[in-house]
Amino acid sequence: MLQYETKIDAKQLKGKDFLTLLDFSSDEIFYLLELASKMKKEQKDGKISNVLQGRSLGMIFENASTRTRVSFEVGMTQLGGHALFLSPRDLQIGRGEPISDTAQVLSRYVDAIMVRTNSHEKVEELAKYSTVPVINALTDFYHPCQALADLLTIYEHKGSFQGNKLVYVGDGNNVAHSLVIAAAKVGMDIAVATPVGYEMNSDIIEKAQEVAKTTGATILITNDPIEAVSDADIIYTDVWASMGFESEQKEREEAFGPFQVNHSLVSYAKSDYIFLHCLPAHRGEEVTAEIIDDSKHSVIYDEAENRLHVQKAILASVIK
Ligand code: CP
Ligand code: NVA
């Protein structure tokens, strides 16, 4: 269990969209983490839950997924509900039906909609027209479910957020954006090192900095991976070419070389650092096999498992 006092009424999240952690207060984030931790323990203890009995989740995937799809689907089942996998190949949306109609029609059938797409605007449009909560399962801008699972993993392994330095090395992408917001919300120091030309979105950095002012977190943005990794408690990286950017793979490999998480780079971190990666990983690119497969530091499978627990907490909280 987390050692944070949360002062929120559980009902206040009912009906709320989960598009970015910016829309959630620090207390609401601590509440979700606490609930995820409780649900994780209950599942391990073999307790059966039926909080979402008779409820359905529509899952629209415009992009591939292993963890997100399986954890949402299993999560609904474990809570007594049901999930439908909806591929745009099969939906009329793939043949040009407007998002607004899709949102309003799906809202008449399902109790929440989860969506993965390259366009954050599409998710916002879906949420605008939907009368049931919409959950962002990754866009070009954000990956909030991942960041929540990352927070839970960090808390489990480090015992607190404050006093820890989280370092993200690599592409200034969706995962980096959500991570910097998550760290700011919980008051954890974060350093982000990206190559020149692959920095995070400046509006998102500004928003995270505003949040950090209220929680005491510090945010260091640099193009120097060694500066970022110095004294790191947690090192995080992600693929160099995200979904939708595969055609840039070759040019990215050149720019990102010095940002590889390898033995030499982690030597600047604290000796008890932990390594996180949202997965899928490309061994030999953003991280070497010796680092990601070193179970003394790497907690990637705990992190992947925590996707299930935090998403159950989100589903149980937002579905009416
Ligand atoms: N980390 C993550 O979102 O993985 P998938 O793409 O497999 O869902
Ligand atoms: N940044 C990666 C994350 C995959 C889970 C992507 O968008 O492809």
Looking from the CA of residue 174, the nearest atom of ligand 2 is 1
Model confidence at 182, in pLDDT bands (50, 70, 90)? very high
Q: How far is the CA of 245 from the centre of ligand 2 (A)?
A: 10
SS3 state of residue 180: helix
Mean pLDDT of 46-66: 97
Q: How far is the CA of 145 from the centre of ligand 1 (A)?
A: 10
b or e along 39-72 (b: 16 or more beta carbons within 10 Å of the residue's beta carbon)? bbeebeeeeeeeebeebbbbbbbbeebebbbebb
Q: Report the chain's mean pLDDT, rounded to a whole number.
A: 97
- Residue for token pair 């607190």: 160
Domain 10-37+46-142+306-319 sits in CATH at 3.40.50.1370
Mean pLDDT of 87-91: 90
The pLDDT tens digits for 101-135 are 999 999 999 999 999 999 999 999 999 999 999 99
Residue 3 pLDDT = 66
Distances from the Cα of 8 to the Cαs of 11, 25, 90, 187, in angstroms? 8, 10, 40, 18
DSSP-assigned beta bridge partners for residue 41: none
Q: Where in the chain is the domain with CATH 3.40.50.1370?
A: 10-37+46-142+306-319, 147-303
- Show the tokens assigned to 214: 């209220």
Looking from the CA of residue 173, the nearest atom of ligand 2 is 1
Classify 147-303 by CATH class. Answer: alpha beta
Residue 4 has pLDDT above 90, yes or no: no
- CA dist., res. 259 & res. 171, Å (int): 9
Q: How far is the CA of 232 from the centre of ligand 2 (A)?
A: 23
Lining ligand 1 with CB less than 6 A are 65-68, 138, 146, 278-279
Distances from the Cα of 5 to the Cαs of 8, 30, 52, in angstroms? 9, 8, 26
SS3 state of residue 218: coil
pTM above threshold 0.85: yes
Looking from the CA of residue 138, the nearest atom of ligand 1 is 3
DSSP-assigned beta bridge partners for residue 189: 165
